[in-house]
Structure 1
Amino acid sequence: MSTRLIIMRHANSRPESDTGLDHDRPLNEQGLAEASQMSQALIDRDWMPDTALISSSKRTQETFALMMDVPCEIRPEIYLAGLDTLLPIATGIEEGKTTLMLGHNPGCEMLIATLCGTYHPISTATCALFTKDGPHWVLESVLRPEALDRFKRVPYEVE
């Protein structure tokens, strides 16, 4: 099996938390639907991860809990991380496995642009699907919740 990486931004969340801390913001109703919808889209495409590396924030943990039952590692350093933190994590994933990295913008967008050489805006619950071809990453598709519905699951095509 090839090495595959799913870079995902958390699902839509409330603008505030009960504690007042950004880290504690929960998903809103839209986010609950997005996470479930994206889980089904990954299943439909045979892109379920073997393992996941997720931010310690409440919204990323809630997104993950609604999506799948695979081993995960909560990585506090992914919370609001920049490229200098995310790139070594992404390039250090286990060979021959599918790994989900679940985090935040702008880090997700920066990581995707660095791996494929093209900027792709990433809305909430969007997944970028990469395969590793030798030393290089190839962007296979970008799945956006707004492009998915019950009848038609069409990914954003990579040009």
Structure 2
Amino acid sequence: MDDPSAGVSGTRHRLILMRHAKSDWANEGLSDHDRPLNKRGRRDAPQMAAWLRELDCLPDVVLSSSAVRTRETLELMQDSFRSDVVVSYSESLYLASPETICNVIASDSCDASTVMVLAHNPGMAYLVSQLAGEMVDMPTAAIAIFDVSIPDWSKFRLSSPVKLEHFMRPKAL
């Protein structure tokens, strides 16, 4: 029987959408882009990576906002990831709209079977909600995993056939 989540090539495509871990607001002199993680964020990020590992859902490619808090989130997760994961930082993912996030996925995901996007609200919550077909709250460090039925990532759009497979937030672990 054919796997309905497999693309035309037979490769399963998975999309991991994650909001950065909790950031620190203590230093009022920092720009929003330069805010680091706080203690809770530094605790939650590796726990969420361990959850992905337990699911056997590790990214081949990570597309991350260039903000300090997204970079730190990813750094704290990488011990759970395979050593050959490809990481790309993008200014365009900083406070991006759902359409912009989809465009980055379509243009930067290559032939990866599992792509992770690490970005910000409100764009991440809007995108997850649009893909899931229902309102989904994306608190800090939340992850939504979708099965994506496309032949390759260059065809990914907001209207692509997807299925929400898993959702987790740190407080539920």
Task: Calculate the TM-score normalised by the size of structure 2.
Answer: 0.80
Please state if 1:116 is matched with 2:141: no
Match runs of 1:63-82 below 5 Å: 63-68=73-78, 69=83, 70-82=85-97
Deviation at 1:20, TM superposition (A): 2.1
2:35 is aligned with 1:25: yes
- C-alpha distance after superposition, 1:34-92 (max 9, x if no partner): 00100100000001100100000000000000101522000110001112311222345
Instruction: Report whether the alignment pairs 1:143 with 2:171.
Output: no
- How far the C-alpha of 1:15 sits from its partner, in A, is 1.3
C-alpha distance in structure 2 between counterparts of 1:95 and 1:115, whole Å? 21
Work out the CA distance in 2 between the residues paired with 1:37 and 1:115.
25
Q: Identity over aligned residues, as a percent? A: 38
Change (3 A) 1:77 1:16: farther
**1:131 counterpart SS class:** strand
Determine the structure 2 residue equivalent to 1:103: 119
Contact 1:17/1:26 (<8 A) preserved: no
Number of aligned positions between the proteins: 148
Per the TM alignment, residue 115 of structure 1 is displaced from its structure 2 partner at its CA by 1.6
TM-score (structure 1 length as normaliser): 0.86
Stretches of structure 2 lacking an aligned partner (at least 5 in a row): 1-10, 151-159
Question: Equivalent residue for 1:83?
Answer: 98
Q: After superposition, what is the alpha-carbon deviation per residue over 1:11-42, rounded to whole angstroms, capped at 9, x for unaligned?
A: 00101447420100000000001001001000
**Aligned-pair Cα RMSD in Å:** 1.6
CA distance, structure 1, for counterparts of residue 95 and residue 103 of structure 2: 15
